[in-house]
Chain A
Amino acid sequence: MSESGTLAAKAKQDTVSLTGAEIVVRALKDQGVTHIFGYPGGAVLPIYDALFADNGITHVLVRHEQGATHAAEGYARSTGKPGVVLVTSGPGATNAVTGLTDALMDSIPLVVLTGQVATHLIGTDAFQEADTVGITRACTKHNWLVRDANDLSRTLHEAFQIATTGRPGPVVIDIPKDVQFKTGEYLTPDQIRHRTFKPKTEPETASVLRAVEMMAAAKRPIFYTGGGLINSGPQASAALRELAALTGFPVTSTLMGLGAFPASSPQWLGMLGMHGTYEANHAMHDCDLMVCLGARFDDRCTGRIDKFSPASKKIHLDIDASQINKVVRVDLGIVADAGKTIAEMVKLWKAKEKKPDAAALKDWWAQIDRWRARRSLAYEASDALIKPQYAIDRLYALTRGRDVYITTEVGQHQMWAAQRFKFEEPNRWMTSGGLGTMGYGLPAAVGVQMAHRDALVIDIAGEASVQMTMQEMSTAMQYNLPIKIFILNNEYMGMVRQWQQLLHGGRYSHSYSEALPDFVKMAEAFGCLGLRASKPSELDAKIMEMIDSPKPVLFDCRVDATENCYPMIPSGAAHNEMILSALSDASVSDEGKMLV
């Protein structure tokens, strides 16, 4: 009998009949799900009923479905497990679209269950009907509309497999209400195998060997690492550390990869890209070998593509074959899991007794040290105003020795956090990279804290971003989640203001918030602790008060309103054309202004 035949025969004996709603809950439990983030409505009431009857899963009631998706992302990113979301049809599903897109861009595994109107009503413009699979087709890795309760368990198990293996990503399962009521046969995860989906994870030894040869021959090498190392799991970070120790090569990372390599290492160059360090970007530009590990040559990282690292040979390791040669032609592409491949590089480097070119590397490091000497993250200190950089530095210093997780919103504060908060481990840094979603950080912190009840979870926020998903403070209160929302309040959409200053002649069109809420009172209205600091002298004590509070805290940190985030590669410029401090309009080409 064929393999699938055996499976089917086994399935026959072991099946149980359950309602669709019961199948959902049973499948989630069999997949090891302990938490789901959701919001009820008419089209998912049978599933909510099944959850009511079963206390094996903790349901977190959010205040907006976008919050549920970001919370699930934070949960997933900080645990390595998939995040699970349950929302109703129509507006419930459409509200989840931003989080789905965010998770797709940043390769975060999410399983999102949406209710749908009953099958006989589909296509009739029924109440709260939306074409959810149509709307979410472009923002999921895959999606399904399940029309038969007998297909439900298979679909659910496949959904978990697809979300979590290969390049992770979000999936949607749309379940009509009648399917939730009907009975169907339940199959366990081991009875299911997807017909086509078999991602390749093992690297070819010959390719790894060639990579090792190229590394041993390099004179000015760099490891350019990314979020793929986080997705691959902690063993990928461990392998990278070993490979870096063996080779002595410098390491930089994208925004998404921070923490895979310890920031305390002398080999760490800091983040690269638009707001990356001078040394990281110059090393990328001048290297003769770029070893890209789990990153994707995003435009925020490469700068101007036709001037991107002109003299280097390039190796690109990615689990997603479509990323190889997508934006940058490489000399060697390896399609495989990052952890497995880097471990194989370590093994072969040792087995072949490879040695780095010590003399060349010494010169390379001397050059890097000259770039470092430019101190590109330096800023002008102030006694009168809290500089945002100073606030991050103090937050970092005062949280040492604690179990810290950082989330962010999007804007200048996010870049300052990425530049200055030093991460030693993977899974500690949750930020919206690919989509740049304002409003991500607060609900993401809810998700992180749900998974790590005793940790110190801080959302480094901007006053504009945080108002987009502010209502999740109420969720934090309901579940006793002592998240800390540390707002760098510059009264501006600072990143927009900075671009308007540099690119649009200082015409600050609609980037100033004339009316801001009193964040302290707002915190109190939610039942949280509200704190405010306006002077550098009071900052430390207030930060300690925030850390020591058992409650969720909203911290209104009043910072210098017109500080800019440097260094910066202006749009349309190359890695070696960074602006360090003094501003000049002339440095951005007209072509550059067209880019975002």
Chain B
Amino acid sequence: MANERHTLTALVDNEAGVLARVVGLFSGRGYNIESLTVGEVDPAERTSRITVVTSGPPAVIEQIEAQLKRLVPVHAVTNWTFATDGVEREMALVKVAGADRTEAKQTAAKLGARVLDDRGQATVFELTDAPANIGSFIEAMRPLGLCDVSRTGVAAISRDPG
């Protein structure tokens, strides 16, 4: 069966070792992690959201979800891939160097990136977008003096009010 790319989020208790449990589950059972993002959701409730982009055949994705739900500090697991009510975003910092960075700046402006820093011999662009668009942006910068990239990984959330 062909591999599919899925974005999963787990709402977890923000306690010691919870990230190690999630990551250990993936490495221990041989699942892929393409991107991983963690952040606190509610300090009062002590919850965090872990967003994982993973790939695998459908049966493996199903197992990943089931195995995540087994972890004691995990409250809920959501698979956003086929959900129409979810949105996902990623942020990237992209550095371009060279004497003339005019073309890079023009392309960046067209693709919705903004200049975060522009001193000396390098420009740092910031882009927040769907992960695929971040990839296209990086590819566009490659021939224009791309020298470094830092990506945050994906964050996902539902659109509905609940």
**A134 to B72, Cβ gap below 8 A?**
no
The stretch among A25-33, A109-117, A135-143 that forms the contact with chain B is A135-143
The residues of B that contact A197 with a CB separation of less than 8 Å are: 72
A118-165 contacts to B (CB < 8 Å): 133-134, 137-138, 141-143, 145, 162
B75 contacts partner chain A, Cβ-Cβ < 8 Å: yes
Q: How many residues of A contact B (CB 8 A)?
A: 20
A326 contacts partner chain B, Cβ-Cβ < 8 Å: yes
Q: How far is the CA of A501 from the CA of B63 in the complex (A)?
A: 38
B20 contacts partner chain A, Cβ-Cβ < 8 Å: yes
**A320 to B70, Cβ gap below 8 A?**
yes
The residues of A that contact B13 with a CB separation of less than 8 Å are: 195-196
CB distance from B8 to the nearest CB of A (A): 14
**B17 to A322, Cβ gap below 8 A?**
no
From known contacts A133-B17, A137-B17, A195-B13, infer whether A322 and B67 are also in contact, taking CB-CB under 8 Å: yes
**B75 to A196, Cβ gap below 8 A?**
yes
B1-22 interface bits toward A, Cβ cutoff 8 Å, 1 = contact, 0 = none: 0000000000001001100110
Contact of B24 among A138, A322, A326 (CB under 8 A): A138
B74 contacts partner chain A, Cβ-Cβ < 8 Å: yes
**A162 to B66, Cβ gap below 8 A?**
no
B89 contacts partner chain A, Cβ-Cβ < 8 Å: no
The residues of A that contact B20 with a CB separation of less than 8 Å are: 134, 137
A321-368 contacts to B (CB < 8 Å): 321-322, 324-326, 329
The residues of B that contact A195 with a CB separation of less than 8 Å are: 13, 75
**A196 to B70, Cβ gap below 8 A?**
no
**B17 to A326, Cβ gap below 8 A?**
no
From known contacts A325-B59, A325-B62, A326-B63, infer whether A141 and B72 are also in contact, taking CB-CB under 8 Å: yes
From known contacts A196-B13, A325-B62, infer whether A137 and B24 are also in contact, taking CB-CB under 8 Å: yes
The residues of A that contact B69 with a CB separation of less than 8 Å are: 321-322
CB distance from B115 to the nearest CB of A (A): 42
Q: Which residue of B lies closest to A320 (CB)?
A: B70
Contact of B66 among A196, A322, A329 (CB under 8 A): A322
B145 contacts partner chain A, Cβ-Cβ < 8 Å: no
**A196 to B72, Cβ gap below 8 A?**
yes
B40-70 interface bits toward A, Cβ cutoff 8 Å, 1 = contact, 0 = none: 0000000000000000000100110011011
A293-326 interface bits toward B, Cβ cutoff 8 Å, 1 = contact, 0 = none: 0000000000000000000000000001110111
The residues of B that contact A137 with a CB separation of less than 8 Å are: 17, 20-21, 24
The residues of A that contact B21 with a CB separation of less than 8 Å are: 137
The residues of A that contact B28 with a CB separation of less than 8 Å are: 138
**A196 to B16, Cβ gap below 8 A?**
no
Q: How far is the CA of A322 from the CA of B25 in the complex (A)?
A: 13
* Residues of B contacting A: mostly: helix
B73 contacts partner chain A, Cβ-Cβ < 8 Å: yes
Q: How far is the CA of A141 from the CA of B70 in the complex (A)?
A: 9
Q: Which residue of B lies closest to A323 (CB)?
A: B66
Q: Which residue of B lies closest to A171 (CB)?
A: B72
The residues of B that contact A134 with a CB separation of less than 8 Å are: 20
Q: Which residue of B lies closest to A326 (CB)?
A: B63
Q: Which residue of A lies closest to B65 (CB)?
A: A322
The residues of A that contact B17 with a CB separation of less than 8 Å are: 133, 137, 143, 145
The residues of B that contact A320 with a CB separation of less than 8 Å are: 70
Q: How far is the CA of A325 from the CA of B61 in the complex (A)?
A: 12
**A145 to B16, Cβ gap below 8 A?**
yes
**B70 to A162, Cβ gap below 8 A?**
no
**A321 to B66, Cβ gap below 8 A?**
yes
A162-193 contacts to B (CB < 8 Å): 162
The residues of B that contact A143 with a CB separation of less than 8 Å are: 17
Q: Which residue of A lies closest to B62 (CB)?
A: A325
The residues of A that contact B73 with a CB separation of less than 8 Å are: 196
The residues of B that contact A162 with a CB separation of less than 8 Å are: 72
Q: How far is the CA of A18 from the CA of B143 in the complex (A)?
A: 68
CB distance from B27 to the nearest CB of A (A): 9
Q: How far is the CA of A320 from the CA of B21 in the complex (A)?
A: 18
Chain B CB within 10 Å, residue with most, of A196, A197, A320, A321: A196
Q: How far is the CA of A197 from the CA of B59 in the complex (A)?
A: 25
Chain B CB within 10 Å, residue with most, of A143, A197, A321, A322: A322
B67-99 contacts to A (CB < 8 Å): 67, 69-70, 72-75
From known contacts A134-B20, A145-B16, infer whether A322 and B70 are also in contact, taking CB-CB under 8 Å: yes
From known contacts A133-B17, A138-B24, infer whether A196 and B74 are also in contact, taking CB-CB under 8 Å: yes
CB distance from A168 to the nearest CB of B (A): 13
B128-161 interface bits toward A, Cβ cutoff 8 Å, 1 = contact, 0 = none: 0000000000000000000000000000000000
Chain A CB within 10 Å, residue with most, of B16, B21, B67, B70: B70
**A322 to B72, Cβ gap below 8 A?**
no
Q: Which residue of B lies closest to A137 (CB)?
A: B24
CB distance from A359 to the nearest CB of B (A): 38
Q: How far is the CA of A329 from the CA of B75 in the complex (A)?
A: 26
Q: Which residue of A lies closest to B27 (CB)?
A: A138
CB distance from A171 to the nearest CB of B (A): 9
Q: Which residue of A lies closest to B28 (CB)?
A: A138
The residues of A that contact B24 with a CB separation of less than 8 Å are: 137-138
Q: Which residue of A lies closest to B72 (CB)?
A: A142
CB distance from B112 to the nearest CB of A (A): 39
CB distance from A159 to the nearest CB of B (A): 10
Q: How far is the CA of A137 from the CA of B24 in the complex (A)?
A: 8
Q: How far is the CA of A138 from the CA of B25 in the complex (A)?
A: 8
The residues of A that contact B63 with a CB separation of less than 8 Å are: 322, 325-326
CB distance from B57 to the nearest CB of A (A): 12
Q: Which residue of B lies closest to A335 (CB)?
A: B66
CB distance from A440 to the nearest CB of B (A): 23
Q: How far is the CA of A339 from the CA of B17 in the complex (A)?
A: 34
Q: How far is the CA of A581 from the CA of B45 in the complex (A)?
A: 63
CB distance from B47 to the nearest CB of A (A): 9
CB distance from A69 to the nearest CB of B (A): 20
Q: Which residue of A lies closest to B69 (CB)?
A: A321
Q: Which residue of A lies closest to B12 (CB)?
A: A196
Q: How far is the CA of A326 from the CA of B29 in the complex (A)?
A: 12
Q: Which residue of A lies closest to B20 (CB)?
A: A137
17 contacts between A and B (CB under 8 A): A133-B17, A137-B24, A138-B24, A142-B72, A145-B16, A162-B72, A195-B75, A196-B13, A196-B72, A196-B75, A197-B72, A322-B66, A322-B67, A322-B69, A324-B66, A325-B63, A326-B66
> Apart from A196-B74, A322-B66, A325-B63, what are 19 other A-B pairs with CB-CB below 8 Å?
A134-B20, A137-B21, A138-B24, A138-B28, A142-B72, A145-B17, A194-B72, A195-B13, A195-B75, A196-B75, A197-B72, A321-B66, A321-B69, A324-B66, A325-B59, A325-B62, A326-B63, A326-B66, A329-B59
Lowest 6 CB-CB distances: which A-B pairs, in order? A322-B66, A142-B72, A196-B75, A322-B67, A322-B70, A321-B66
